Amino acid sequence: MRARLGYTFGRWLVFGTGGVAFGDLEVKNAINGAADRQMLTGWTAGGGVEWVWNNNLTLRGELAHIAFNPETFATLPAGQTLGADLDLFKIDFITRF
């Protein structure tokens, strides 16, 4: 879940985003075949630019970073935790009918 706040000038929108992130992570032990799954929570932040070409087409580019808090998994050795960090780059073509 993210909020987006930006500034427009002409056909351009420059924006920043931020919010909370949720993710499902599964860990498998290749030695004994055991698996464990945890729901991770964390935060996300990023920004981008959007350009309205005409009334029917918009182009958007966005970069977002997602950081999940570490969790303990039963299949890992005792005391070890695992989290995840992701960097996403998206290009969107938006059409209106």
Tokens of 76: 């890992």
Contacts of 79 (CB under 8 A, 6+ apart): none
- For residue 58 the two structure tokens come to 């918009």
Q: What is the pLDDT of residue 84?
A: 87
Given this model, what pLDDT does residue 79 score?
64
**pLDDT tens figures, 53-95:** 998 999 999 999 999 998 887 777 766 788 889 999 999 999 9
State residue 78's pLDDT score: 67
Look up residue 46 and give its two tokens. 């990023």
Give the tens place of pLDDT for each residue, 24-44: 988 887 777 778 888 899 999
Q: Are strands 57-72 and 2-9 parallel, antiparallel or unpaired?
A: unpaired
Quote the pLDDT of residue 86: 93
Quick one: pLDDT at residue 5?
Answer: 97
